[in-house]
Structure 1
Amino acid sequence: MELKIGFLSLFMLAISWMGSDARQLAASDMTSIPIEYKYLGEEIKIHVAVEKNNQVCTLCEEYVGEALSFLRDNKTQMDIVATLHKACSKLQSLEEQCAMLVDTYASAFFSEIATIQPEEFCQKVNLCRMKYVSLHRSNKTCELCHQVMIEVITKLKDPDTQFEIIEILLKQCNKVENYAQECKRLVFQYGPLILASGEKFFETNDVCSVIHACGSAKTEASASAEFAETTLADA
């Protein structure tokens, strides 16, 4: 992970230097990145609209793309592993353990590199800014979103679901080792409060309108009213 960050950081430093003036002078445009997923058998396609600075954002994506292509090349990967093994040979008594770590984690490192997308990386370092999310599919998108929210609220009100969530949190506390008991105390003390706050948040905020799952303002207002009525009826 540190090696990956190191390689990409070098490229990002170059981008920042070349694009420092362009950040203020270049005009912005928009690009759309499609993301698809399924929920209850329904295929949903989300278009994430990203505001681009013509020079800074484009340079970022271009150079990160080149960096990733370089790191994904088989010869490059072999050279990196060879360099790390050479470094291990200087550790004397720890050489064998070092080489074992290199062999174990090198493949995982390169697999992680394969999952990185230039667009996502540049968004995370704020060189391409996320503006909004809009869902483009059938008219059922808004209805489906509100159905999901009703299910979420219903689940949060279910004592069995609340118990399952608390139980999962307690199991996670066991991974904290020396702080396990303190972690469990916090879960018992604040868990129910957090669940109640989450339930209240979803009841008082039309999340579907916020993420633009509904179309026009008129449609959103109608769906929001229907959502509120259904929620109150189920309460």
Structure 2
Amino acid sequence: MSQWSPAPHEGYLPIEDHGLIGDGRGCALVGRDGAISFMCVPRFDAPPLFCSLLDRHRGGSFLLAPEGLWLSRQHYIEDTGVLVTEPRADTGVVEITDAFLLRPGARLEVDAPVGTGELVRHARVTQGSVDLAVAVLPRGETHVERQAAGWHLTCPRQALKLHLTASRPLPGPRCTLSLNQGEDLWSRMRWSERRGADSGRSVSRAVAVLFMLAVINIIGLYLLAPVVKRELASFLEFVRARNAGETTDGDEDQESVKTTAQT
């Protein structure tokens, strides 16, 4: 949406008020309010890292927006997947640029990893001055640890480790920075899968496959039961008829022997 529109302060943004970014294997939705409200990495089928799109109270998000926001617009840089969001506050305007980083020469049509596992967000004040709210709040329990180069977040629910760095000191994963016209903030979030996550997922998938096979077998037996019963009944009837026929033949032979003896 390239036209200025009122930015909602409560409830949920319509899906058309979001832009999509990604690296061919993971993706994120960025709202006109400056929040990443849905993000699945390192794959599309991974548990959501941020999910306020569906649950604004507990879903988590990555917010980068000026306080007092009342208008905003969005557009892509021409011929790219780089998204630009412009929130307008009472005191100024911010230009937020979002993108997943790709390897040099990467081609998304090739079935091979092309991303570097990083999200870059750049906020620049183009007019006035703003108090910029920064909040990295993953879904579920998160262990936060301060490091010399930024913040380290461990997300057990998603089996991910996040490393958050910025061009300005961040007091925490949730803070507010005062910026004037021309000043900016670069933030970079890298992710990696926790050691043992793959084996854990493999075991879970193996259990799921075995369970599904068992269900399929049970359903198959249930569906085949009438057929089996019918065939078994036919077979038993055939056996009874055959036994009855043999008995009749035996009686006739005995009568023949008796008649011959009398003669």
> Please, what TM-score do these two structures have when normalized by structure 2?
0.18
Q: Which has the larger radius of gyration?
A: 2
> Please, what TM-score do these two structures have when normalized by structure 1?
0.19
Structure with greater strand share of residues: 2
